[in-house]
Amino acid sequence: MRVLTWNLQGRIGEWEKRQLAIESVLASVAPDLIMLQESWVEPNGHTQASLLAESLGLHAVTAIQLAGFDTYPQATYWVVNAIISRWPLQVRCAVSLVDENGEPTWRHVLAVNVDRPAEAGGPFLAAGTHLEHGVDRSDTRSAQMNHLVNEIAELLGDAENRKQSLPAVVAGDFNAVPSSDELRRVTGASTPYLPSFVLIDAWEACGNTTRGDTWSTKNPLVPRKAVYPNRRLDYITTTAPRLRNHGSFESCFLAGIDPVDGTQPSDHYAVVAEVEL
């Protein structure tokens, strides 16, 4: 199964041209499951994910209920997480993630059941997220990651059930580098947030030897004088423990690197992984 995650940069810049470029990349890569961050929604319910899904002949759900239109009624659009799939989707939860003080933030997780038919491997859980940005916000991201992990673990069932079930696919813009405290803990390189529950990073699991920066100064939409450019911020993972011989990765690579008809699709590159599921 092919999975793609991508931060689409909302409606920044020439977003209508970027929309066409994004659609072109998705059509070319042909993923089975797409996790989107900074995917725009309008107050009338119009969503970027639905437009993309309709064009590609796929299914889409969007966390529009977590948009801030009630607080900011003058806003013409908002950005949220969305999921697009080759198979029908059933929303399990759309939850605001808490910060280090236990307060809800506008960052959130969108989790769905992917109703894949039995002959293709059966249904599985997928979740997309986007954690707090800022070089100095590791404490906030750690709290959000802890909340995320516990939400996913609860959806998968107790520890024994997770060992006998397909893993969840968890992907998104974690806004953290692999050496950060939050990534080390969630991948088991340090004490896990939840005992015996970790996320397996596709990029590293595939043995990639390049950095895999998804926010790079090679991208013309990334500021040349950004405080901390050239980082790998976007991840595709699967949960562990899980059913034996399921959830491993065959490959992981970047997409959306080059302009399409002169238009750079987003300030982030997409991550694509082939997963045995």
pLDDT digits 0-9 by tens, 131-161:
999 999 999 999 999 999 999 999 999 999 9
pTM above 0.85, yes or no: yes
The whole-angstrom separation of Cα 50 and Cα 67 is: 16
Residue 229: is the preceding peptide bond cis (ω within 30°)? no
Name every residue whose Cβ is closer than 8 Å to that of residue 183 and which is 6 or more positions away in sequence: 174, 176, 177, 189, 201
Tally of domains within the chain: 1
In one-letter notation, the amino acid at residue 240 is A
Cβ burial, residue 61 (10 Å; 0-12/13-18/19+): buried
- Say what angle helices 48-56 and 15-29 make with each other, to 10 degrees: 40
> What is each CA distance from 31 to 26, 106, 141, 193, in whole angstroms?
7, 28, 28, 30
CA end-to-end span of the chain: 7
Residue appearing with tokens 């950004």: 226
Domain of residue 194, residue span = 2-275
Q: pLDDT tens digit string along 104-140?
A: 999 999 999 999 999 999 999 999 999 999 999 999 9
Which CATH number is 259's domain given?
Answer: 3.60.10.10
For 1-59, how does the pLDDT look when each residue is reduced to its tens digit (9 = 90+)? 999 999 999 999 999 999 999 999 999 999 999 999 999 999 999 999 999 999 999 99
